[in-house]
Structure 1
Amino acid sequence: MVELRDFRTSDCRQLAAWIDGPLELWNWSGHHFSWPLDEGQLAEYAAESSTPVRQSWMAFDPTTDHVVGHVSLRIEAANASGRLGRVLVAPEARGKGYGAAMLTKALDAGFGELGLEQIELGVWDDNAHAIRLYEGLGFACDHVLRDVVQFAGKSWSAMQMILPRSAWAVDAGSA
């Protein structure tokens, strides 16, 4: 349903267009970018994405060639782990199963060609849709960081989730 290709500088304008305000930017990246999001910030991110520290992809539907999402995996080679993040489905592609398909491909790459033993992620604890998606892929809550930051007049708590290679192998085999 989707294929992944490396995120590149030429994708910056399209990715920025999917984020329509400071709250959506916060939901996507936490404090890593600032509003207004511009191509300069994303160009730095694209440069980091071509190093051994991070792998970032754009997801596209091979039947239409339309780009439908973005996902990133920060790699910690010393302990063979990764941190999934910056997951975003294009507004016009939401609700069509692209998110799960994109994440499945990213997890396959992480546990496959990158040889990771576990993949972690953080998600705001009020993002029920994303939490259901991650749980459906086999992630389990490891712990919750309560009230870690104040933003937009509210206190934010972050659920930390984890997926070991052994759980992915079992889930992937049954999919």
Structure 2
Amino acid sequence: MVELRDFTPSDGRLLVAWIDGPVELWTWSGHNFSWPFDEGQLAQYVAESATPLRQSWMAVDPADDRVVGHLSLRIDAANASGRLGRVLVAPEARGKGYGAAMLTQALDAGFGELGLEQIELGVWDDNANAIRLYEGLGFACDRVLRDVAEFAGKPWSAMQMILPRRVWVADAASA
């Protein structure tokens, strides 16, 4: 349903277009970027994505070559682990299964060609749709960090989730 291709500098305009305000930017990236999301921040992200420490992708629907999402995987080679992040589905593509498809592709790459033993992620605990999606892929809550940040006049708690390779492989074998 989707193919992943490397994130390029020209993809930045899509990310900017998909994020319509400071709360959506915060939900997507936490404290990593600030509003307004601008060319300087994008340039830094593009540079970081071009290193062996992060793999960043754009998800493309091969039926019409339309870009439908973005995600990245920060790699800790020394510990054979990765941290999934910056997952964003294009507004017009939400609710159509693209999120699960692009995450599945990224997890296949992480546990396959990258040889990772576990992949973790953080998600704001009020993001029920994302949590449901991650749990459906085999992620389990490792811990909840209560009130780790304050933004837009409210405290934010983050759920830390983890998916070991053995769970991913077992789930794939039973499917």
Using structure 1 for the length normalisation, give the TM-score.
Answer: 0.98
CA distance in 2 between counterparts of 1:39 and 1:109 reads 29
Quick one: which amino acid aligns to residue 169 of structure 2? A
Retained in 2: the 8 A contact 1:18–1:90?
yes
1:1-175 to 2 correspondence within 5 Å? 1-175=1-175
Quick one: which amino acid aligns to residue 117 of structure 1? E
Aligned-residue identity in percent: 83
CA distance in 1 between counterparts of 2:100 and 2:29 reads 19
Shift of 1:80: 0.4
* Alignment RMSD (CA, Å): 0.7
Quick one: which amino acid aligns to residue 145 of structure 1? L
Deviation per residue, 1:91-129 (Å, 9 max, x gap): 000000000000000000000000000000000000000
Shift of 1:174: 3.0
CA distance in 2 between counterparts of 1:173 and 1:88 reads 28
Structure 2: runs of 5 or more not aligned: none
Shift of 1:14: 1.0
After TM superposition, the runs of 4+ consecutive aligned structure 1 residues lying more than 3 A away are: none
CA distance in 1 between counterparts of 2:114 and 2:145 reads 28
Secondary structure at the residue paired with 2:116?
Answer: coil
Quick one: which amino acid aligns to residue 107 of structure 2? L
Alignment coverage as a number of residue pairs: 175
Retained in 2: the 8 A contact 1:6–1:56?
yes
Shift of 1:132: 0.2
Structure 1: runs of 5 or more not aligned: none
